[in-house]
Amino acid sequence: MDELFWSIARTSGIISLCLLTGSLLLGIMARSGRSFGALSRYTQSLLHRSFSLLSVLFAALHVIALLADSYARVHLIDLLIPFFGEYRPFWQGLGTVGLLLMLAVSLTGLLRQRLSLPVFRGIHLASYLLWPIAVAHGLGNGSDAGAVWYRVITVVSIALVAAAGIWRLTGNYADHASARRLAREGAKP
């Protein structure tokens, strides 16, 4: 039975990370105010939220499977206090930190209409910290981290997020976001 839980934990962790990558990319695109290819801004936003929610659900499945797997030696306390786990405490601790950040970011997404924009954005910016922590957790603690296919997924994910991050920092992105903000406020750029 432990093999089943281990397989579920591995698979759900990888799927969660891929969905988190997609969510981060879609969030960067949505924040730009531009449509991307055939995707409207509404569709981008809907996909961003859907990927985020699915990532959280798969992360929850990952954690539940690890708790059920006696070989993994993960305990409830490990979900709250990072870096004290029995197996690779540093890498497991990154998973705990990532999980807690994921919950905070997801909760702000769900409560967006009830939070001030600065609070929402401030907490939501933790996504830029959450994602590399999740990647590092997978590389340091993942059973498949040494597999070529896993490394290819990781390298492609890093390249995509790096490209999106560079694009976000370009003047073109900033100019477009500024123009959108000015238009929203009723001024001309």
For residue range 167-178, what is the model confidence (pLDDT) as tens digits?
888 866 655 556
* Radius of gyration from C-alpha coordinates of the chain: 18
pLDDT, tens digit, for every residue of 109-126?
899 999 999 999 999 999
Counting Cβ atoms within 10 Å, is residue 170 exposed (0-12), middle (13-18) or buried (19+)? exposed
Q: Rounded CA gap, 67 and 65, in Å?
A: 5
Half-sphere exposure of 164 toward its Cβ, with a 13 Å CA cutoff? 20
The mean predicted confidence, pLDDT, of the chain is 89
Q: Rounded CA gap, 55 and 135, in Å?
A: 13
Q: What is the pLDDT of residue 167?
A: 85
2-16, 23-37, 39-53, 158-172: lowest mean pLDDT where? 23-37
Residue 42: band (very low, low, confident or very high) from pLDDT cuts 50, 70, 90: confident
> In whole angstroms, how far apart are CA 57 and each of 15, 16, 43, 175?
10, 8, 21, 36
